[in-house]
Structure 1
Amino acid sequence: MDTEWYNDVPCSSIAVESIISVGTGGLIWGSCAGSYDAKQIGLTGIPRASFVAKTVGKYGFQCGLFAGIFSFTRCGIRRYRKKNDWVNALVAGGFAGAAIGAGTRNWKQVAVMTAFLSGFCAIADQSTPPI
């Protein structure tokens, strides 16, 4: 198999695969966190089920959104620069962090989220073996 497979696959396909896989992880995490938080609050019955369902949806959506923005941006930057290095992940993480943080409407949180996710993505990309 060719080692440059990412040049043949459309960025939209990479983003969709990423949204599905990371979004599913978010759903699983949301079910665990929602159940725990509902227990801490003391919810039972229908209010508990409603709270858990909202938490599952929120975590699944947020994780899928981040994954989609990150993977689509990283793929586009990689194709534009014709390089596969940590800079792609750094820029894509910053872009995804800014997009997620912009939903808070607090610019301090936008800056913190951008810096954190940008650095995290660059470190994670650097620690993975080359394709």
Structure 2
Amino acid sequence: MEAKRFAKEAPCSAVAVNAFVHLGMAGLAWGVVSGPYRADKRGLAGVARTTFLMKRVGTYSLLWGSLGGAFHAIRCGVRRYRMQEDWVNSGIAGAIAGAALGMKTRSLTQIAITSVIVSGIVTVIDSSKPF
């Protein structure tokens, strides 16, 4: 009975693309809000400011979208593999996505810290949903 319930859900790829789009838009909004502040702190104006803002918006959109898409794809895959819906799925997916996010630091300590923090945050958020 449990296996049939997971078989009827949307494919993991659709879940990942949906998360990429939604969180990419959130990253775009964050870039639009925080970009001008950072540009002002750097004293940018004119073409340099516009270029900086466009890069900042693009970076945040791709980063947030990629992180969200990876998390949801991994969580979906883990849920289908385990055939259970619980906090462990979010914890595993958050740890992997956090490690991927921390990879750009090239420090094993930072990768581990980012992995634990992201895993903890998404596990708490996912397990506190009312539905």
Q: What's the TM-score bracket when you normalise by the shorter of the two chains?
A: over 0.9
Residue type matched to 1:121 in 2? V
The whole-number CA distance in structure 2 between the counterparts of 1:85 and 1:96 is 18
Number of aligned residues: 127
Cα deviation, residue 41, structure 1 = 1.4
Q: How does 1:77-88 map to 2 (within 5 A)?
A: 77-88=78-89
Q: Give the match for residue 24 of structure 1.
A: 25
* Shift in alpha-carbon separation, 1:6–1:61, aligned structure 2, 3 A: farther
Judge conservation of contact 1:19–1:68 (CA < 8 Å) in 2: yes
Q: Give the match for residue 99 of structure 1.
A: 100
Judge conservation of contact 1:71–1:92 (CA < 8 Å) in 2: yes
Residue type matched to 2:39 in 1? A
Cα deviation, residue 7, structure 1 = 3.9
Structure 1: tracts of 5 or more residues without a match: none
Cα deviation, residue 6, structure 1 = 7.6
Structure 2: tracts of 5 or more residues without a match: none
Residue type matched to 2:98 in 1? G
Identity of aligned residues (%): 41
The whole-number CA distance in structure 1 between the counterparts of 2:33 and 2:7 is 34
TM-score by length of 1: 0.92
TM-score by length of 2: 0.92
* Shift in alpha-carbon separation, 1:5–1:76, aligned structure 2, 3 A: closer
Judge conservation of contact 2:6–2:80 (CA < 8 Å) in 1: no
Pair 1:109-2:97 in alignment = no
